[in-house]
A and B are shown apart, each in its own frame.
Chain A
Amino acid sequence: MARDAANREQFRPDDHDHEHFLLTSVVGSYPKPTWLNRADDLVDDPDASFDEADLEEAHDDACRLITEEHERTGLDTVVDGEMRRNEMVEFFAERIDGYEFNGPVKVWGHNYFHKPSVVEEVSYDEPWLVDEFEFTDAVAERPVKVPITGPYTLANWAFDEHYGDSEALAYDLADLVNEEIEKLVEAGARYIQIDEPALATTPDDHAIVGSCLERIVDGVPDEVRVGVHVCYGDYSRIYPELNEFPVDEVDLELCNDDYQQIETLADGEFAPDLALGVVDVHDAEVESVEEIKQNIKQGLKVVPPEQLTVSPDCGLKLLPREAAYQKTENLVTAAREVEAELDAGEIEVPARDAPTADD
């Protein structure tokens, strides 16, 4: 069952102008400044005097820059653009005991990642994200969202040399994610997003992802908002099952194929809040505010405004930085304009759970 998602109200800015509140957010990653990529390379160059401390400073600078860039767009909740992270699986596998690396493997074309191998039981060593969160939280004036690669993805996008059973591995990892969230909550985090793109590869495993999420939210207070992000899949294979996920919000990529899948979700029964992808992250052309407003209205077919979050389809990191910025800013502007139109009663919201004439 979905959690009680009343926790969204804490993200409404004090100076919010409208009665309606469409929470605006991002999925997480953002284009890195080119100088940061140079810094990442430089630290590996034995001839350079640039060391780990310098790199740490460069990461701090980049996190500050992108967090502030997010705030300038007007987003209600911000992320540091994942400036400290190299790749969504690698970053965590480097921090979890039990993984090792054997070299890069192909994803497609000349796009590779250092796919890790699980060689023994996974265990928790040091916090993965607490420092990152505390830094960003200190920089940001708006609430900070923390994206975490989910256990199902961490299990399935690795070579399993030890468990011989990716489900058991996923559950062990889910317990570690739970431990990490506990520390993040202690540090003040109130918005957590679990990224599970691997579910799109093997949608029949939705029950395993559900069981992982049960472990993840165990003991997490209700005021902490927990979402799950899935992208580039056939949602008819995970809906309505995802209604059982114990989360406040499900974040879906839907703009990329022009909302062809929206009707699948629009049965009036969608249980969690919907975080709707309203800009395409694989097309550098920036959607206009008007276009994004139409996209937001697609989401109203699925959930009422008080359950709708507005976000990009996925991480923005592959876009040119200017396009990433402009898309985010237009997303916020569009959300605010839709709120105003909702306040004014200019948008017809499909009635849900309304008593019928027979009641």
Chain B
Amino acid sequence: MTDRVATTLGLYPLPDWAKDELSSLKGHQKADLVDGSEGPEVRAAYERVREELIDDQREAGLDRIVEGQGRWDDWLAHPLAVHDGVETGGIVRYYDNNNFYRDPRVVDDLAADGGDVAAELDAATALLEDEESLQAVLPGPYTLADLATDEYYGDDAEFLAAIAEFLAGEVEALPEHETLFLLDPSLVTDSPEGEANERVSDAVDTVAAATDADVVLQSYWGAHEEKTYAHLMDADVDAFGFDFVAGDRDAHLYNVTEYGTKDAISVGLVDGQNTAVESPETVAERIDWVTEQIPSQTFDTVYATPNTELAYLPVSTYREKLSVLGEAVELAPETEVSA
């Protein structure tokens, strides 16, 4: 039996009231963004945001609940943007989007600080009901290193290893969680070259080893280079996540056919960057289609997700997309599909 799990990659849009309230409380400039030292009013606003984002998922019937990351002003660079050993520099473009984050300039030892994400998930845990499962979301080590500027380690390999150790520390501090999603778009948008591929696989291992939960390494906005994928297969994760909306489907299927994949798979099937809302039936068909294309394998779990974070969307559309995912996994037959 294949378990079909409806979940998301986190990083949700702030509710519209919170957009207004937090911009009044915090301001609009670089220096006003979250740095880990928010005052009580800002903290209280984010607590209400967290409650609402968890309610949204509960109403949509998702199988995993994320914290929603309303505080992540700097997108996936957030864990560094709040780090004591990091100075945030100018505003830089976030991938090929009309979105920006503050350049995190690593100027000191990353091992010396941490725990920001754990505090968010502790708060989220307190809001969950007994039968609900928490999902943690963090950037993958390669992506976090790619988004940052190293002004301390001075060596790519050493920097990546330090980022991986830092993330492992964050993971160790987390409360109990069922699943950990590591979001790693840079693996496909700016692929590692040569020997770096092996180091990336090791870095993912370092982070994944810090938890007993199922670990999903999800990339988006493209497909893995063959060499990168081959090395990633050595990493001890439970599933890879593929972008079937903006990525090249044939390239995904080629990699999976040539090199195999893990016992679980995560498929980005709902467009996280378009307000056109898919029907649950369409998403259910897409889940079937992907699994049918991989006849050699029976998955124990298929995670059905949006292809990207959801903060690109207006609130009304984001909520509709959550519901679509929740309904789609109910429609899909929980049986093995054989070709």
Q: Which residues of A contact B (CB under 8 A)?
A: 102-112, 115, 117, 156-157, 159-161, 198, 201-202
Contacts and interface: CB of A to CB of B under 8 A. Distances in A.
Contacts of B29: 109
A104 B19 CA distance: 9
A107 B99 contact: yes
A28 B30 CA distance: 24
Q: By CB atoms of chain A within 10 A, which of B16, B94, B101, B314 has the most? A: B314
Closest 6 CB pairs of A and B: A103-B314, A110-B23, A108-B100, A161-B276, A102-B314, A159-B275
Contact of A102 (B33, B94, B100, B317): B317
Nearest to A232: B93
B28 A103 contact: no
B32 interface: yes
B27 A107 contact: no
A109 B73 contact: yes
Contact of A110 (B19, B99, B276): B19
27 contacts: A102-B314, A103-B316, A104-B16, A104-B19, A104-B314, A105-B13, A105-B311, A105-B312, A106-B99, A106-B311, A107-B100, A108-B91, A109-B29, A109-B30, A109-B32, A110-B19, A110-B22, A110-B23, A110-B26, A110-B73, A112-B19, A117-B275, A159-B273, A161-B276, A201-B93, A201-B98, A202-B96
A100 B219 CA distance: 31
Contacts of A115: 314
B28 A159 contact: no
Nearest to A204: B96
Contacts of B13: 105-106
Nearest to A158: B275
B315 interface: yes
Interface string B197-210: 00000000000000
How extensive is the interface on chain B, given as a class?
20 to 34
Interface of B: 13-14, 16, 19, 22-23, 26-30, 32-33, 73, 91, 93-94, 96-101, 273-276, 311-317
Contacts of B98: 107, 156-157, 198, 201
Q: By CB atoms of chain B within 10 A, which of A105, A109, A117, A157 has the most? A: A109
A102 B93 contact: no
B294 to A, nearest CB: 26
A107 B30 CA distance: 13
Contacts of B91: 108
Given A108-B91, A109-B28, A161 B317 contact: no
A102 B73 CA distance: 22
A236 B19 CA distance: 37
B152 to A, nearest CB: 24
Nearest to B22: A110
A110 B22 CA distance: 7
A174 B251 CA distance: 34
Nearest to B26: A110
Given A112-B19, A159-B274, A159-B276, A103 B315 contact: yes
Contacts of B100: 107-108
Contacts of B22: 110
A105 B313 contact: yes
A103 B91 CA distance: 24
Contacts of A160: 274
Contact of B275 (A102, A198, A201): A102
A109 B317 CA distance: 20
A198 B312 CA distance: 16
B147 to A, nearest CB: 14
B1 to A, nearest CB: 36
Contacts of A103: 16, 314-317
